Structure 1
Amino acid sequence: MTATARAPLAAPTATSPRRLGRLRSTARRAGPPLGVLAAVVGVWYAVTYLALAPRRRFLLPPPHEVVTDGFGDWTTFGQTLRALGTTAKVALVGLVIAAALGMVFAVLMSQAGWIERSFYPWAVALQTIPILAIVPLIGFWLGYGFWSRTVVCVLVALFPIITNTLFGLQSTDPGQHDLFTLRQAGRWARLVHLEFPSALPAVFTGLRISAGLSVIGAIVGDFFFRQGQQGLGSLIDDYTQRLQSAPLFAAIMVSALFGLALFWLFGLAARLAIGAWHTPRRRS
């Protein structure tokens, strides 16, 4: 009697547990935000069809109408994309200027106490001034074009960069400072090789905050400064005056997605720059 030949069982691959772990990790990260999104869409539909009368439904159009009229209509969506390009240019230029100024002021304040005592209160005062109160003055002084919008972005985005960079520079480990003192390191060497690298996590935190604020500043500037190419702010204002709710919501979503993209890009830059030696503690 011959034994029945049996095919050998396939050995479990080493990549299967890894793939399963990656899928679980992805689901753990993406599941909660998608769940919140589903809940928001459900509440949105409920308010539109249950709380609003048909004649008042233009106040909150259903999500599918926003998609079809705001994103599906190429004429409307193309106008939104062109406005996004203008707003993105203003926001990025303003963010770069704010980052440069904020870091320079933070470094100067970290190196001399009298500079911090002289300038930091004015930085706080600038942050507390309502931006809408000084926007007309900016228009009087600089006109109503690109650079006026950029100045608004700088004023809105400057303070988080100053405070976070200054906090990071002043939070360097004292033991490492003592080591540099023993090596008789100068102020410049201490700043470049110790203080600024240690401050990078705080610097990137300030940049992520200011990235979203720069988008807000660009849109606020668009509301008031209408010379030149149309931005998202003036486009949203036009849709509001014409009671075009679906394109209005689509433009708002585009501006929010652009702010999220900038926030994510700076988070990615932070992981690439400092992820190898600085890993924040995460809760499960």
Structure 2
Amino acid sequence: MTDTKLPETTVGDGVGSAGEAIAPIDPMLRVTRARGASRIATVLPPIVMGLAVIAAWYFVSYVLLDEARRFLLRPPHQVIEVGFLEWENFSEMLEGLWSSTKVALIGLALSILIGFALAIVMSQTKIAERALFPYLVMLQAIPILAIIPLIQFWFGSGDAIWDYPIISVLNSRVIVCIIISVFPIIVNTLFGLQSAERGMHDLFTLHHAGRVTRLRKLMFPAAMPAIFAGLRISAGLSVIGAIVGDFFLGAGQVGIGQLLRKYANNLQGEELLAAVILSGALGVFVFLSFGWLQQVAIGKWHDTAD
């Protein structure tokens, strides 16, 4: 009896078991498919979650709430019709959103300057860190609603505290925004500056590098991932600070916070929900903007930027 040996084939040799030629898979095609699958995996979960939230929203509006109490949670299509499709309401919200956006961006910019300055000082001397850090933690621990009356008592609630050109942008709402958003920048920047490897510090010491050179070429590059993590957190907090300050101070240029209070007092449920959605969209936009900036700045050399 003679053994019959079938022809052996290997994966990717271009020949099938029946002698038919199999075209090899293009590596670029594999990369394209992998990228497409990655994009789907990134986009699909938020879409599914959004549809689930809308379905739950409709369920609460039409099943759990009767007609007499449906004003508490208007269904999504009514919110879109009244809040977004009626130009008078939508334009009012856009103006308020723009006012709150300016406050948030100004507050965030000042928070970045203050946070970087304090973090650099504390990273250079332990005495400054021990002296300042407890009070920064205390400021962060105090509820902002307890500070707002004090800020209003000291600075009022108008558009500007001083009329000088350079600091005319500073007002009570900006101060509230700074108080809420500055702490993550300080903590993350300080942690990043202190996370540079000891061996690299020894190398800079061996080359007689000064404080500025060490800070610019060693500590700040090592701190960039932590800095961007703090910026992304503070970006969202700055939007919260702008809206909270506008909601409770209630003076000066009308922002989204004042509109939220007006809609709630007048039982305008559709406009109220539309304003809440716009506020959330602003926070997400600012957060994602800093995520994109992080990807541009350090995405080529740091894995966590992906």
The TM-score, its normalising length taken from structure 2, stands at 0.86
- Residue equivalent to 2:107: 94
Residue 245 of structure 1 pairs with residue 269 of structure 2: yes
Match of 1:77 in 2: 90
Distance 1:177 1:44 in 2: 56
Correspondence 1:25 to 2:32: no
Query: 1:26: Cα distance to partner?
Result: 1.1
How far apart, CA to CA, are the structure 1 residues paired with 2:228 and 2:116?
Answer: 11
SS at match of 1:243: coil
Residue 103 (structure 1) aligned with residue 116 (structure 2) = yes
Is the Cα contact below 8 Å between 2:107 and 2:174 reproduced in 1?
yes
The reply on whether 1:58 has 2:82 as its aligned counterpart is no
Give me the whole-angstrom Cα distance separating, in 1, the residues matched to 2:216 and 2:27: 44
Q: Distance in 2 between matches of 1:70 and 1:272?
A: 36
> What does residue 3 of structure 2 align with?
none
Alignment of 1:270 onto 2:278: no
Match of 2:127 among 91, 103, 114: 114
Q: CA deviation at 1:183?
A: 1.2
Helix, strand or coil at the partner of 1:280: helix
Instruction: Using the TM superposition, give the Cα deviation of residue 13 of structure 1 relative to its aligned residue in structure 2, in angstroms.
Output: 7.6
Q: Distance in 2 between matches of 1:163 and 1:276?
A: 25
Alignment partner of 1:42: what SS?
helix
Deviation at 1:174, TM superposition (A): 1.3
Distance in 2, Cα, partners of 1:213 & 1:261:
13
Q: Distance in 1 between matches of 2:256 and 2:113?
A: 25
> Partner amino acid for 2:118?
F
CA distance in 1, matches of 2:65, 2:251: 38
Matched length: 273
Structure 1 or 2: more helix by fraction: 1
Measured after TM superposition, the shift of residue 277 of structure 1 is 1.0
Q: Which of 233, 236, 248 pairs up with 2:257?
A: 233
Structure 1 residue 48 corresponds to structure 2 residue 61: yes
Instruction: Please state how far the C-alpha of 1:281 moved relative to its aligned partner.
Output: 8.4
1:280 corresponds in structure 2 to: 304
CA apart distance, 1:207? 0.7
Distance 1:103 1:34 in 2: 37
Instruction: Single out whichever of 76-85 and 168-177 deviates more from structure 2.
Output: 168-177
Partner of residue 255, structure 1: 279
Letter in 1 for 2:237: L
Tell me the CA shift for residue 145 of structure 1.
2.1
- Corresponding position: 1:214 with 2:238: yes
List, as ranges, runs of 4+ consecutive aligned residues in structure 1 with deviation greater than 6 Å.
10-14
Which amino acid is the alignment partner of residue 86 of structure 1? S
Following the alignment from structure 2 to structure 1, what is the Cα–Cα distance between the partners of residues 28 and 93? 44
Deviation at 1:17, TM superposition (A): 4.2
- The alpha carbon displacement at 1:175 in A equals 1.6
- AA aligned to 1:233 is G
5+ long unaligned stretches in structure 1: 1-9
Structure 2 contact 61–74 (Cα < 8 Å) conserved: yes
- TM-score under structure 1 length normalisation: 0.92
Percent identity (aligned): 48
Contact 2:298 2:305 in 1 (8 A): no
Q: Within 2, Cα distance between the matches of 1:45 and 1:24? A: 31
Is the counterpart of residue 37 in structure 1 residue 61 in structure 2? no
Map residues 194-209 of structure 1 onto 2, 5 A cutoff.
194-209=218-233
1:7 equivalent in structure 2: none
Q: Given the superposition, is the C-alpha separation of residues 237 and 165 from structure 1 closer, same or farther in structure 2, using an over 3 Å criterion?
A: same
In structure 1, how many angstroms separate the alpha carbons of the residues matched to 2:80 and 2:31?
A: 37
Higher relative contact order, chain-length normalized (CA < 8 Å, sep 6+): 1
Change (3 A) 1:216 1:272: same
Query: 1:252, 1:234 → 2: CA distance?
Result: 12
User: Take 1:18 and 1:278, find their aligned partners in 2: how far apart are those partners?
Assistant: 21
8 A Cα contact 2:256 2:279, kept in partner: yes
